[in-house]
Amino acid sequence: MTLFDSPAFEAHESVNAFYDEATGLKTIIAVHSTARGPAAGGCRMWPYPTAEAAMEDALRLSRAMSYKNAVADIDHGGGKAVIIGDSKTMKSPALFEAFGRAVDAVGGRYWTAEDVGVSPADLQAARRTTRYVAGLDGHPAASGDPSPVTAEGVFRGLKLAVKRAYGGDISGLTVAIQGVGHVGAFLAEKLHAAGAKLIITDVNQPALDEVAARTGATVVAPDAIFDSKADVFAPCALGGAVTLANLDRLQGRVIAGGANNQLATPEAGEELYRRGLIYAPDYVINGGGIINVAGEIRALDAGAAFDPVWVEGKLSRLMETLDEVFQRSVDEKRPTHVIAGEIARDRIEAARR
């Protein structure tokens, strides 16, 4: 399959591949749309089995960022970077300086930030070779790690979904969290403080042990998370967690988490709706982090200080949009992912016009 034949291509504006021999950097930067402004989206470092797998992930994530940024009503299009490699063994300041040069070569059409396998500390090195990095510390416009804001949005959105599904709050309910990395760990703490019981899983055992010690969560094997007796399933790891094959194993009525591209296929979303489950579309519920990043870019461009009030206003409005998606699903008798997709595409097309 060629790049242009991929179902994930969907009219990307550009796809850029960069290689740096000195550091071994192999990175793909995909820009789906700049209709609403320069593309913004994180950088993921993962040991992809093939370059084709890395390309497919970059395309899917970049397209999702276009939708996420449009629904969050920020002045950015969608883009994403992936670095092919093991984040546990291959990181170095020189590698991220080379990545910064790659970002700079895209000419300001893409702003990067952290994602799976990449930390704000890594991106400090990239900032030495490009200005198009956000989600950092140490300057007046800095917004810091966006993960806590992503988790805050997921927490608020999860509560909205729970209220619709169960008619109350989350205290006493059980939430199964798949993945306790940056976002999942912060979400676990918020849910624990709100009185929820937790079941967690991850491939990173030290991270599991740490979160379990702080929250009293029950730890299960990665595949067992789907069979947990939980009221809510919160995918916070990689994409494709919800499939037609595992729907029968989920026991709760809510799916709401921080991962991108949670539905393995559109058909999985259709089946969720037919079964009466409430799904919080990922690029709506998890938009808090990119709002935070946009706040930093906004401040950098204006030569001003970061404004958390602006971020809170955008995040609050995003939660109103999520609730509107839930209500329209009821009124129009259509799945939430279909409605959210229409909102995103309409806003992108309006910007193009």
Marked catalytic residue, from 68, 80, 197, 314: 80
Angle (nearest 5°) at CA 217 between 119 and 240: 55
In DSSP notation, 89-136 reads: TS--HHHHHHHHHHHHHTTTSEEB-B-TT--HHHHHHHHTT-S-B-S-
Cα–Cα distances in Å, from 305 out to 38, 182, 259, 308, 310?
20, 25, 30, 10, 11
Tokens linked to 199: 């079941």
Contacts of 302 by beta carbon, 8 Å cutoff, 6+ apart: none
Angle (nearest 5°) at CA 112 between 109 and 115: 145
Listed in sequence order, the DSSP H helices in 249-307 are 266-274, 282-285, 288-302
CA distance 205 to 284: 29
Tokens linked to 170: 């989350």
Contacts of 312 by beta carbon, 8 Å cutoff, 6+ apart: none
Contacts of 29 by beta carbon, 8 Å cutoff, 6+ apart: 15, 16, 18, 58, 79, 80, 81, 102, 103, 106, 110
Catalytic residue list contains 229:
no
Angle (nearest 5°) at CA 264 between 262 and 267: 115
* Half-sphere CA count of 349, side-chain side, radius 13 A: 6
Distance spanning both ends of the chain, measured CA to CA: 32
Cα–Cα distances in Å, from 157 out to 23, 79, 229, 263, 278?
41, 24, 21, 17, 11
CA distance 263 to 241: 6
The residues assigned a catalytic role are 80
